[in-house]
C-alpha cells in the first residue's frame, strides 16, 4: 500500500491503485480526507495528483455554445506552437565577425552559450553578458550583436539563432489536444488558459496504453512536456512534449512508447528524467521529498539497481528526518550508476554524503563484505 499525503499532513494508508479511480469522490470516500480543492493530494510519482476534484470539471462552451475543445483560435494556437517549439528544440545560436567589409562565415556558439542566450529570450531580457573563448561580451538581443566588454581593438559580432522545426502537423496536433483539453485557471497562466487534467488526463494515458502506476514512461512523457505541475499538461506543455517527441496523434504516440521506456531504462535519458522528477514531485514551498515518496519513484526509475531495496529499507529504519533533499536525490543516482552492487568502488570517492557512509557500513557488516 501507499500513503496519501494530505494538506494537513494527516495520512491514510490505501492501495496505490485507488489513486487512479478517476473520481475524487471514490477515493475520498475511502480515506475521508481531502487536500487542496477536494482532491486527496497524494501525487506519488505517477503524475496524477490533481489539485482539484476530478469530477468537478465540466466542459466549457466556446463560440456558439460548442465545447471549448472544439474551438481553439488558430492564430493563438500558432503562437503557442512557436513558443513551445523553441522550448522543445532550443535554438542554436551562431555568430560571425561584423567588421567593415567582412563576409565571415557563421559559426556555432558553444552549447552552454546558446542555453544562456535562450534563457535571456525567455525572460524577455534584452541585454546581458556572455563569455565566448575567454572573451566577455555584452549581448543585445534586439539588435542581435555581441560587443566585447573592453571594446578596444576588438571586433563586434553579429548573432543569429537557428531554429529547427519539429516534424509535426500543427492542425493534427490541435485536434489531438482538443480531445482532452478543458479550461484551467488562471486564464493568464504562462502555459496557457487550458490543459489536460483530471479524468481527461487519466483518459490520455489509457489511450496511449501507459499505466502511470507502474510504467516509467509516464515520467518520461511529463519530462518531455516540461510539465510544471503534477497531473496537469498545460497547452504549451503538451505542445512542447509533442514537438520534442515529434508526434501529433494517438497512433504516433503509441508507437513512441517503447522507445521512451527503453531510453530511460537503458540509462540514455535516465539522468534527464530523474532530475526532472524531483522538481515536479516536491510540493512548493517544501524543498524535500518524503522518503516514502522517493522510494516509490526509485522503484520506477531505478528498478534494476540491486541496492535499491536494501537502501530504502535501511533508510526507513535509520535515516533521520525521513526526507530527501535535491542533493541527496542526485547522489542516489550517482551511487546507483557508478558503484557496483558489491560496493567495491565506493571508497574511491571520498565525497559521498554521511548517510551513504552509514548505509555502506551497515550493509557490508550485514553481508560480510
Lowest mean pLDDT among 94-98, 165-169, 191-195, 231-235: 94-98
Q: Is the dihedral of CA 234, 87, 293, 47 positive or negative?
A: positive
The pLDDT of residue 212: 87
The pLDDT of residue 308: 97
Q: Over the stretch 187-204, which tens digit does the pLDDT of each residue have? A: 899 999 999 999 999 999
Lowest mean pLDDT among 26-40, 76-90, 236-250, 319-333: 26-40
Q: Over the stretch 198-256, which tens digit does the pLDDT of each residue have? A: 999 999 999 999 998 899 999 999 999 999 998 999 999 999 999 999 999 999 999 99
What average pLDDT does the segment 3-30 reach? 32
Confidence of residue 154 (pLDDT cuts 50, 70, 90): low
Q: Tell whether the model's pLDDT for residue 119 goes beyond 50.
A: yes
- Pick the closest to residue 277 from 45, 20, 40 (CA basis): 45
Cα 205 to Cα 220: distance, rounded to the nearest angstrom: 12
Q: How far apart are the first and last CA of the chain?
A: 33
Residues facing residue 50 across a β-bridge: none
**Higher local confidence (pLDDT), 237 or 73:** 237
Query: Which distant-in-sequence residues (6+ apart) come within 8 Å of 111 by Cβ?
Result: 92
**Higher local confidence (pLDDT), 71 or 38:** 71
Burial of residue 172, with CB atoms counted within 10 A of its CB: 0-12 exposed, 13-18 middle, 19 or more buried: middle
pTM of the model: 0.76
Place of cell 524577455: 124
3-state DSSP call for residue 8?
coil
Place of cell 539522468: 271
Helices (H), the chain: 24-31, 74-88, 111-123, 170-178, 198-207, 217-225, 235-245, 250-265, 270-281, 291-301, 308-318, 326-338, 354-367
Torsion (CA) 327, 15, 48, 42 in degrees, nearest 10: -60
Amino acid at each position: 500500500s501507499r500513503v496519501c499525503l494530505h494538506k494537513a499532513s494527516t495520512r491514510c494508508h490505501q492501495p496505490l491503485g485507488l489513486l487512479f479511480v478517476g473520481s475524487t469522490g471514490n477515493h475520498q470516500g475511502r480515506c475521508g480526507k481531502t487536500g487542496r480543492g477536494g482532491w486527496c493530494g497524494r501525487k506519488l510519482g505517477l503524475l496524477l495528483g490533481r489539485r482539484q476534484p476530478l469530477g468537478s470539471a465540466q466542459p466549457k462552451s466556446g463560440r456558439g455554445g460548442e465545447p471549448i475543445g472544439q474551438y481553439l483560435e488558430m492564430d493563438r494556437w500558432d503562437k503557442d506552437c512557436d513558443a513551445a517549439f523553441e522550448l522543445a528544440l532550443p535554438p542554436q545560436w551562431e555568430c560571425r565577425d561584423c567588421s567593415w567589409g567582412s563576409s565571415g562565415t557563421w559559426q556555432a556558439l558553444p552549447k552552454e552559450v546558446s542555453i544562456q542566450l535562450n534563457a535571456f529570450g525567455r525572460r524577455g531580457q534584452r541585454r546581458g553578458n556572455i563569455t565566448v573563448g575567454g572573451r566577455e561580451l555584452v549581448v543585445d538581443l534586439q539588435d542581435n550583436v555581441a560587443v566585447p566588454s573592453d571594446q578596444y581593438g576588438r571586433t563586434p559580432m553579429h548573432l543569429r539563432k537557428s531554429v529547427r522545426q519539429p516534424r509535426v502537423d500543427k492542425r493534427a496536433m490541435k485536434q489531438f489536444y482538443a480531445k482532452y483539453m478543458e479550461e484551467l485557471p488562471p486564464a493568464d497562466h504562462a502555459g496557457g488558459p487550458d490543459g489536460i487534467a483530471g479524468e481527461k488526463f487519466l483518459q490520455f494515458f489509457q489511450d496511449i496504453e501507459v499505466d502511470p502506476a507502474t510504467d516509467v514512461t509516464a515520467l518520461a512523457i511529463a519530462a518531455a512536456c516540461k510539465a510544471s505541475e503534477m497531473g496537469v499538461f498545460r497547452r504549451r506543455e503538451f505542445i512542447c512534449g509533442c514537438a520534442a517527441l515529434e508526434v501529433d496523434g494517438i497512433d504516433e504516440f503509441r508507437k513512441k512508447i517503447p522507445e521512451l521506456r527503453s531510453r530511460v531504462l537503458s540509462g540514455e535519458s535516465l539522468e534527464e528524467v530523474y532530475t526532472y522528477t524531483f522538481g515536479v514531485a516536491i510540493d512548493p514551498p517544501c524543498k524535500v521529498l518524503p522518503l516514502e515518496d522517493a522510494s516509490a519513484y526509485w522503484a520506477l526509475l531505478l528498478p534494476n539497481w540491486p541496492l535499491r531495496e536494501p537502501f530504502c529499507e535501511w533508510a526507513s529504519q535509520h535515516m533521520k528526518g525521513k526526507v530527501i533533499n535535491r542533493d541527496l536525490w542526485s547522489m542516489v543516482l550517482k551511487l546507483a550508476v557508478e558503484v557496483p552492487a558489491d560496493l567495491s568502488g565506493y571508497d574511491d570517492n571520498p565525497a559521498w554524503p554521511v548517510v551513504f557512509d552509514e548505509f555502506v557500513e551497515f550493509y557490508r557488516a550485514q553481508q560480510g563484505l
